[in-house]
Amino acid sequence: MNYNKINNSIGWLCGLVATAVYVSTAERTTSFWDCGEFIASAFKMQIVHQPGAPLFLMLQNVFSNLAFGNPQLIAFWMNIGSALSSGLTIVFLFWSITALARKVLWKPGTELTQSALIQIIGAGAVGALAYTFSDTFWFSAVESEVYAMSSLCTAVVFWAILKWEAHADEPGADKWLLFIAYIMGLSIGVHLLNLLAIPAIALLIYFRRTQKATSSGAIKALLLGFVVVAVVLWGIIQYLIKFAAYFDLFFVNTLGMGFGSGVFVFALLLVGGIAYGIWYSIQKAKPLLNIILLSFAFIVFGYSSFSMILIRAKADPTLNNSDPDNAFAFLSYLNREQYGDNPLFKGPYFDSRPIDVKYGSNIYRKGTEKYEIAGRNFDYEYDRETVFPRIYSTREASHQQYYRSYLNLGENEQPTFGDNLRFFFSYQVGHMYGRYFLWNFVGRQNDQQGHGDLTTGNWISGIKFIDQWHVGGQDALPESQLTDPSYNRFYFLPLILGLIGAFWHFKRRQRDAGVVGLLFFMTGLAIVLYLNQTPLQPRERDYAYAGSFYAFAIWIGLGVVGITDWLRKKVNARTAGWIATVIGLLAGPVILAKDGWNDHDRSEKSLARDIARDYLESCAPNAILFTYGDNDTYPLWYVQEVENIRPDIRIVNLSLLSADWYVRQMKDKVNEAEPLPITIPDEKYVKGVRDVIYYQDAKIPGSVELKDIVALMLSDNPNDKRQVQSEQPENFLPTKNLRLTINREDVIKNKVVPQAWQDSIASVMQWTYNRNYVSRAELAIMDILVNNNWERPIYFATTVPSDNFMGLDKYLVSEGFALRLMPINVTQNTSQGLVNADAIYDHALNKYTWGNIRNSAYLDPESYRMVSLILNNIYSAPAEALIAEGKTEEAKKLLNNALESMPERIYRIMDAYGYSFLTENLYAVGETDKANALVERNVKYLEEQLRYFAAITETKPNLEMQNIQYSMFTLNRFSDAAKAHGQQELASRIEKIFSQYETKFFGGMPAN
C-alpha cells in the first residue's frame, strides 16, 4: 500500500467535496456587514477599515478577474475565493488529523496494517468533513470576508509544524520553520488570528527537540511562545512602524528633509541589519541565531504586503479609510486608534467616575512642511478600579443598564469584583463563547441574535429533557420554531465524538493532545480574555472563534480511533475501523450537513445588494445621503464602486465624518458625485483642532442664524472663545436654538418639495439642536446646510439613529429608505411621520427589488430584520397617506405589492407588529379577505409565541416580559382593526386569546 498516495488523494477528495459544497451554497452577490467594503476595495485596490487586510484584498482582486468584466459577477467570484480558501483549509485539516493519528497507530520501522490505515484515513475524513459542515466555518466560507483565508493560514502552519516534526532529524528540515514564519508574516495581511497558533507550535518544537521533556521545560517553552506572539504583535507589527515614524519625524522636523526620507533610511538600516546578522550567524556557525534571524526576515517579508496600504493611500482612491499616506497616519491605522482600547489588566467598573486625566506621548499629524503636534495621548483615572475589569463600559447608558439587569443590581448598587467575575464566566465565557461552541457541535435553537434571553440564539440539542432543563418549554415550541431553517439539532453527537477523541488522544499521546488543547484554548478562551467584549454586540461574534472549533474538529476525527479501540474488544480490528468510521461519518459530517444545509444555503438570496440599490434609488439625482452603520453603508459602497449603480449620489457615513481625513475627502469629487459644499478650510478642523466644540449657554434670546453659529465656532478671534472644558479658551456653541432662512425660489427651482406642498414652504427653518457638543460631523453638516442653497437633495438613511438628525426631525420626509430634508411647515401626515407617498409609490412599484426575500429558502438575521422596516416605511405608512389623500386605488395596488413581495414566514414579533399596520390599511381599501387572512396568520404566530412564553415561565424565570408585552399589544391592534371593520367573529376570537394570556401573565391587570 502506498500510504502517501492514499493520504494525499483522500485529503484532496475531502477538499473537493468541501469546495463543491461552498460554491453551491455561496451567495451570488455581496453579503451584509464588511463584505461590501471588502469587495469594493479589493476590486479597485482601496483602503478598508483598520487595521486593513492588504494580502486578502490583493488575492481577492485576482478572483475578480474571473468575472471577465461582468460587474454583477465580481462579488460572486470573490465569494468563490473564500470557498476555495475554505476547501483548502479542509485539505490541510485532513492531513493534520492523519499525521496525528499516524504517530500513534503506525510505529516507526513497522509495517502499516490495513486496520491502522482505515483508522487513520477514517479519522481524517470524519474530522475534516465535520469541520466542513460546522456552522461557523460554513458561514464564513460562502462570503468575501477575511475569516476563510485566515483559517487557511492557521491550517497551513499547523500542518507545516507537523511536517517539520516528522522530518526534524533530516538535513534541511528547518525549512519548514522558515515556511511557517513566512506564512505567519503573510497572514498578518489577512487577519491576526493566525498568530495565536504560535504557543502551540513552540510547545511542539520543545517536545520534539528535547531528549527528556519536563513540566518546567514545557512551561518555559510555552512562555517563550507567548513572548514570540508579543514580539510579532507589538514588536514587528507596531514598533517597527513606530520606529520608522520617529525616524521620519527626526529627518523631517530636525534635518529639514522630505516626508518619507526617515522611513527610507530606517528601511535600509533594517534590511542591512538583518542581512548582516544572517551573514554573521553563518560565519560564526550559530545555527540558533541563524534560524531566529531568518524567521524574523521571513515574517517581515510577509508583513511587507502592508506596503500596498501606503502605496494606494497616496493614490487617493475613493475608499481611503484613515488616509494612511504617511508614517504617523499609517501607525495610527495599524494601531486601530479609531476604535480605542478595551482594558485588560486594570480598569474601571461601569459606574466608576473619572477623577483625573493622565497624559502620555504626543500625537503627530502631517502638516504642509513638517509633522505637527495634534495633541497628546491620555487615559482617565477613575475613583473605583479593579484588576481584570470585565464590567467596565462607562460610555453607553444601554451597557450600564444591561450590566445591572444581568447581574440583578439595584439602581444605585455598586458592582463588586464578584459581579465582575460572574459576568466574565456567565456572559463572556458562557454566552459569547460556550454558546457558539455548542451551536457547532450540539445544535442551535434559531439564528435570532440573543442577549441572554431564552427564546433567541440559544444552543439546543434535540434531546427533550436536556433542552427542557436548558431553555424550557420544548413541548410548546411554536411551529415557526420547528420549521425554522436555523433550528438545528445534533443530539450532542459531534460533541461526544470530539470528547471521545480528546480522551483517547490524552490517554495515548499526551504531548500531542496538549498541543491541540493549547491551540483550542488560544483560539477560543484566550480570545475571550483579549477581546473583553461589552454586552449588546451589534451581531453575533462566533466567527472570531473558528480556530478553536478547528482544533476540536481534530478531536472529532480522532474520535474514530477512540471508538475503534473500544470496538476491538468485540470484533476484529479491520471491521472495528470500518464500523467506527461509519459511526463517525453519521455522528459528525452527516448530521451536521443534514440539519445545517438549509440555513447555510445562501445561493438564492441577494437582499444585501438589492436593498443597497433601493437605498440609492430612494434619492433624487445628485443627492447627498447620510448613512450611519455598516449595513447602510458597505453594501451601498459595493453597488456604486463595483456595479456602478447611482454613482451620482454622495454617500456620507456619519460615523466617519467626525474624522478630519474623512471631511477632507468629502471635499473631492468621487465617481460622478460632486464634492460636498463644505467651505471650512482644512486647517480649521485637522486632528487636534476643533475635535469637539462644547455647548455653553450664552443666554441668547430667540434663535440664531446657522451661518452665524458656524462662523462663531470657526472663529480664531480670542473674543469668540471661552473656557468650557479646558483651561484654555476654546470655541463653543452658544445656543441650541438655530434657524436657517429659506429662499423660496431656490427651493422651487431645485424641486426640493413636492408640488402639493409648495404652499407650505417655510420662510425660516427653526429647530433645537439636540446635543451638548458639536463634533466635526455636526460641524460639517451645518456648513453643508449653510452653503448648499438647496441645490443638492439632502437625505438621511432611515436606519440612521434619530439623535444624529441634530433636531431636524420635523423637516425630514420619508421617500422610502431615505428621509429627505425639506423646508416645510407640514404636520405629520401619517401615524409614522411625514411621508411623500407619491414618491414611495413610484419607487416601490417601479424601482425597488427585494433580493428574492419571498422565495429564498433561508434568510440570514440581517435580511429578515429588514422585513419590519420595509413593511412600515415602504408599504404601511405611504398607503396610509394615499388613503388619506383619497388615492384608494394606488393604496390598494401598493398593499397588494407588499403581499406579493414579502415573505409568508413571520420571523419575529416585530414583523407581526409591522403587519398590523398593513392589515389596517387592507381593511381600509376594501381588501377584507386578504386582511382577514393576514390577521389569521399573524394571530396564529403570536398565539404560538405566547404559549411558548407561558411554558417557559413555568420552568424558568420570566426573561421574556418585553416580548410578551409586545405580543399582547400587537394582538390588541389586530383585534381593534378587525372590530373596526365589521369582523366581529374574528375580533372575538382574538380577544379570547388576549384575555387568556392577560390572566396568565398579568393576573387580569391590563398589559401595557
Quick one: 919 and 1000 in the same domain? yes
Asked, for residue 887, whether it belongs to a domain, the answer is yes
Predicted confidence (pLDDT) per residue in 634-672, tens digit: 999 999 999 999 999 999 999 999 999 999 999 999 999
Structurally, the chain folds into a number of domains equal to: 3
| Three-class SS state of 380 | strand
Q: What is the pLDDT of residue 826?
A: 87
Instruction: Report the predicted TM-score, pTM, of the whole model to 2 decimal places.
Output: 0.94
Residue 189: per-residue pLDDT: 96
**Given pLDDT bands bounded at 50, 70 and 90, which one contains residue 378?**
confident
How much is the pLDDT for 21?
98
**Cα 804 to chain center, whole Å?**
22
Is the pLDDT confidence value at 1004 over 60?
Answer: no
Q: Are residues 738 and 885 in the same domain?
A: no
Q: Beta strands 704-705 and 737-741: pairing type? A: parallel
Residues 882 and 805 placed together within one structural domain of the fold: no
Confidence grade of residue 1 (pLDDT, cut at 50, 70, 90):
low
The whole-number pLDDT of residue 396 equals 74
Reply yes or no on whether the pLDDT at 934 is more than 90: yes
Tell me the residue length of the chain. Answer: 1008
Q: Which amino acid is at 658?
A: S
Asked if residue 973 belongs to a domain, the reply is yes
* Type and span of the H or E element at 624: strand 624-627
Instruction: Kindly state the percentage of the chain with pLDDT values over 70.
Output: 99
Point out the domain boundary residue: 385, 409, 433.
Answer: 409
Residue 956 pLDDT > 90, yes or no? no
**What average pLDDT score do residues 196-213 get?**
93
What is the band of 957 on the pLDDT scale with cuts at 50, 70, 90?
Answer: low
Tell me, yes or no, whether 847 and 774 share the same domain.
no
For residue 869, which amino acid is it?
L
Q: What is the edge-to-edge ordering of all strands in the sheet holding 764-768?
A: 704-705, 737-741, 764-768
- Is the per-residue pLDDT at 747 higher than 70? yes
In this prediction, what percent of the chain has a pLDDT beyond 90?
85
688 and 747, same structural domain? yes
Query: SS3 for 554?
Result: helix
Q: Encode 499-508: b = buried (16+ Cβ within 10 Å), e = exposed.
A: bbbbebbbeb
User: What range does the domain containing 351 cover?
Assistant: 338-409
Query: What per-residue confidence (pLDDT) applies to 935?
Result: 96
DSSP string, 923-954: HHTT-HHHHHHHHHHHHHHHHHHHHHHHHHHH
Nearest to 241 by CA among 340, 307, 150: 307
Phi–psi pair at 373, nearest 5 degrees? -80, 125
Q: How far is CA 50 from the centre of its chain?
A: 13
Q: Are residues 790 and 849 in the same domain?
A: no
Environment class of residue 73 by beta-carbon count within 10 Å: exposed (0-12), middle (13-18) or buried (19+)?
middle
Domain boundary among 781, 808, 826: 826
Strand-pair category, 794-797 with 812-814: unpaired
| Same domain as 744, residue 777 | yes
Average pLDDT (328-340) is 88
Q: Are residues 689 and 751 in the same domain?
A: yes
Instruction: Calculate mean pLDDT across residues 318-347.
Output: 90
Q: Does 659 share its domain with 792?
A: yes
Mean of the per-residue pLDDT values of the chain:
93
pLDDT at 1006 > cutoff 70? no
Please state, in angstroms and rounded to a whole number, the distance separating the CA atoms of residues 649 and 646: 6
Say if residues 443 and 459 touch (Cβ distance below 8 Å): yes
Q: Do the domain assignments include residue 618?
A: yes
Predicted confidence at residue 620, as pLDDT, reads: 96
- Cell numbers 372575538 correspond to 988
- Any domain includes 152: no
Which residues are CB-contacts of 427 (< 8 A; sequence separation ≥ 6)? 406, 452, 535
pLDDT at 959: 63
DSSP string, 9-72: HHHHHHHHHHHHHHHHHS-SS--TTTHHHHHHHHHHT-B-STT--HHHHHHHHHHHGGGTT-HH
User: Taking the C-alpha atoms of 835, 839, 844 and 850 in order, what is their torsion angle to the nearest 10 degrees?
Assistant: -80
Q: What is the pLDDT of residues 962-991, one digit of tens each?
A: 888 999 999 999 999 999 999 999 999 999
Q: Does residue 116 form part of some domain?
A: no
Burial 914-944 (b: 16+ CB within 10 A, else e): bbbbbbbbbbbbebeebbbebbeebbebbbb
pLDDT for res 341:
81
Question: Mean pLDDT across the stretch 38-60?
Answer: 96
Choose the final residue of a domain: 811, 826, 841.
826
Range list of β-strands (E), 225-370? 346-348, 354-366
CATH of the domain at 924: 1.25.40
The confidence score (pLDDT) of residue 426 equals 94
C-alpha cell recorded at residue 537: 454586540
Same domain, 839 and 719: no
Q: Are residues 902 and 974 in the same domain?
A: yes
Give pLDDT tens digits for 98-156: 999 999 999 888 899 999 999 999 999 999 999 999 999 999 999 999 999 999 999 99
- Mean pLDDT of all residues in 895-917: 93
Phi, psi of 876 (to 5 degrees): -65, -50
Q: Is residue 858 domain-shared with residue 973, that is, in the same domain?
A: yes
User: Please, which pLDDT band fits residue 955 given cuts at 50, 70 and 90?
Assistant: low
Interatomic CA distance for residues 564 and 557, integer angstroms: 12
- Phi-psi category of residue 411: left, alpha or beta, with phi > 0 → left and psi -120 to 50 → alpha: alpha
Q: Taking residues 928-956, what's their average pLDDT? A: 89
- Report, as an integer, the average pLDDT of 705-734: 92
State the cell numbers at 253: 522636523
In this predicted structure, the answer to whether residue 628 has a pLDDT above a threshold of 70 is yes
Kindly state whether residue 925 falls inside one of the protein's structural domains.
yes
- What is the rounded average pLDDT of the residues 89-93? 98
The pLDDT of 825-835, averaged and rounded, is 87
Q: Cβ neighbours of residue 259 under 8 Å, at least 6 residues apart? A: 248, 252, 326, 327, 366
Beta strands in 303-348 (DSSP E): 346-348
Q: Are 505 and 557 in contact (CB under 8 A)?
A: no
* Residue 942: predicted pLDDT: 95
pLDDT tier, 241 (very low <50, low <70, confident <90, very high otherwise): very high
Domain-embedded: residue 28: no
pLDDT value of residue 433: 96
- Express each pLDDT in 405-427 by its tens digit: 899 999 889 999 999 999 999 99
10 Å Cβ neighbour count for 250? 15
pLDDT in tens, 568-618: 988 999 999 999 999 999 999 999 999 999 999 999 999 999 999 999 999
510-520 exposure pattern, b = at least 16 Cβ within 10 A, e = fewer: ebbbbbbbbbb
- The CA radius of gyration of the chain, in Å to the nearest whole number, is 31
pLDDT at 394: 76
Position 294 confidence tier, pLDDT thresholds 50, 70, 90: very high
The grid coordinates listed for 735 are: 445656543
- Does residue 130 sit within a domain? no
For residue 692, the cross-strand partners are 775
